[in-house]
Amino acid sequence: MMTDEIISGVLLDEKALTVNELAQACGVTLEWVSIRVEMGVLAVPAENPAEWRFASRDLWRARQLCALERNFDALPELAALVVDLQEEIARLRAQVG
Amino acid sequence: MEFKDYYKILGVARTASADEIKKAYRKLARKYHPDVSKEPDADARMKEVNEANAVLSDTEKRAAYDQLGAGYKPGQDFQPPPNWDTGFEHAGQGFSADEASQFSDFFAEIFGHAGDRRQTSRAQSHTQSQTKGEDHHAKIVISLEDAWNGATRQISLRVPQVDAEGHVSLGTRTLNVRIPQGVKAGQMVRLAGQGGPGYAGGLAGDLFLEVHFEPHSLFRVDGRDLHLNLPIAPWEAALGATVEIGLPGGSAVNVRIPEGAQSGRQLRVKGKGIPGEPAGDLYLEIQIVVPEAKTQEAIKLYETMARELAFDPRANMKGQA
């Protein structure tokens, strides 16, 4: 299947996801997202869920958390620690080049 | 199509309990995790392990696989008989259509219909209400030049396709995607309506592309900032110089090296990194490269410097050893 049409995407960091869109993108419930926001694992600048916005890093973190919790039956706190460490490894590797 | 021995992939016996399968999967998931694995084929092995686990950790799928695969050996040519799965219900649990698209043709042939059934049951459970399709995720690797100038790149995605006889296999769907200028590694590009099909007339899901950069032979990228090790001659370091540096977009920038520059010193050239809002900066780490004393003339020059310059590079080490 191939078309000549050129598709333009939107950068998530310019138009971030709502809480509903993040839940849909990760295949999780709104409650799952809310709990991780309360835990501070996913950072949002606002208190009202309707104003929560999630950019590229949040989507990446949320998907990693889902996979760790599912594959290893990991506690959310433990999965969060692993994701923090994954980010730190990625940052250090980028510095090394 | 080759038969896949999922038990062998997970390293468990055909009689393994659910708990043994779970333990074996977790052990291999750790072993082949991309952040820690040193295995050259870790990514491919991880996909294989995920696929094996998706089947063997699901009671219905495992039963269907056991019945179908009895007597087959790994790599043996395999074709499932028509309607072999009558009586089995694959609810599609444990993996999403997005994840299943990463799996093998073998998996698609056996369990590809699961997605059809799931769509049907999902639509029915919503009493025919419109429901958005699943969002899909993929990675795209671009060059630094693509990020610098913006580019249109062709990407191929694997999608389940059904032939006239109802067999499901993984086909390829090709998209031409415009990569916006100034994109950073790790950023996500959202392509609306390019994910899984909607249910009961609902909208299609979205496709999220995670942007990765090919390693560059000269530049290291950090966000929109560029880092470059800049070799300079000893006289350029001592006397100062203006050097021309070619940038990934094809342009060049002239940079003034201050006199007395030392190896390891970093210079920042504001706004000369990857273009964007704001543009990144260009960081230059100076590396003084010493010419070899291969000719009589070069040897004489070095000997003159040794004699005439009162220079001790180890002056600050004295008395500390």
Contact B67, B55 (CB under 8 A): no
Q: 10 Å Cβ neighbour count for A10?
A: 14
d(CA B238, CA B236): 6
Residue of B nearest to A11 (CA): B189
Please report the DSSP string for B105-138 in residue order: HHHHHHHHHHHHHHHHHHHHHTTT--BPPPPEEE
- In angstroms, rounded to a whole number, what is the distance separating the alpha carbons of residues B184 and B261? 31
Alpha helices in chain B (DSSP H): 6-10, 18-31, 42-56, 59-69, 97-100, 105-125, 144-149, 234-239, 296-308
**Span B202-211, average pLDDT:** 92
* The pLDDT of residue B134: 86
First to last CA, chain B: 69
The overall average pLDDT reported for chain B is: 84
pLDDT at residue B25, rounded to an integer: 94
pLDDT for the residue numbered B119: 44
Strands of A1-97 (E only): list them. 2-8, 10-11
The vertex-B34 CA angle with B29 and B35, nearest 5°, equals: 105
DSSP string, B263-279: TT-EEEETT-SS-SSS-
Select, from the ranges A22-31, B78-87, B173-182, the one with the highest average predicted confidence (pLDDT). Answer: A22-31
Considering only residues B93 and B154, tell me which one the structure prediction assigns the higher pLDDT. B154
- Chain A residues in contact with B98 (beta carbon < 8 A): 27
pLDDT digits (tens, 9 = 90+) for B237-272: 999 999 999 999 888 999 999 999 999 999 999 999
> CB of A11 within 8 Å of any CB in chain B?
yes
Query: Rounded mean pLDDT of B310-318?
Result: 88
For residue range B49-65, list pLDDT tens digits in order: 989 998 999 888 888 88
pLDDT at A4: 75
Q: Where are the alpha helices (DSSP H) in B220-318?
A: 234-239, 296-308
Query: Do B191 and A9 make contact, defined as CB atoms within 8 angstroms?
Result: yes
Distance of residue A71 Cα from the nearest chain B Cα, in angstroms: 7
Task: Enumerate the β-bridge partners of residue B212.
Answer: B141
The DSSP code for B218 is: S
The pair of structure tokens assigned to B210 is: 């995670």
Q: What is the pLDDT of residue B117?
A: 43
Helix (H), strand (E) at residue A91: helix A76-96
Is the pLDDT reported for residue B145 higher than 50?
Answer: yes
Averaged over A17-42, what is the pLDDT? 94
Q: Is B51 on the interface with A (CB under 8 A)?
A: no
Of B203 and B36, which is predicted with more confidence? B203
- B118, pLDDT greater than 70: no
Predicted local distance difference test score (pLDDT) of residue B246:
96
Residues of B in contact with A24 (CB under 8 A): 132, 135, 205
Nearest C-alpha in A relative to B25: A71
Using a CB-CB cut-off of 8 Å, the residues of chain B touching A87 are none
Model pLDDT, residue B173 = 84
pLDDT at B95: 59
Cβ neighbours of B27 in A, within 8 Å: none
**How far is residue B174 from each of residues A3, B157, B161, B180, B188, measured CA to CA in Å?**
7, 6, 14, 19, 19
Count CB-CB contacts under 10 A for residue A81: 14
Q: In this predicted structure, what is the pLDDT of residue A53? A: 95
B241's tokens: 């110089």
B129: tokens are 């209400």
CB A46 within 8 A of CB A52: yes
- Determine whether the interchain pair A7/B194 forms a contact, defined as Cβ–Cβ distance below 8 Å: yes
**Is a pLDDT exceeding 70 seen at residue B100?**
no
- Higher pLDDT among residues B100 and B117, named by residue: B100
Residue B121's pLDDT band (boundaries 50, 70, 90)? very low
Crossing angle for the helix pair A56-72 and A30-39, to the nearest 10 degrees: 100
Residues of B within 8 A of A18 (CB-CB) are: none
CB atoms A15 and B178 under 8 Å: no
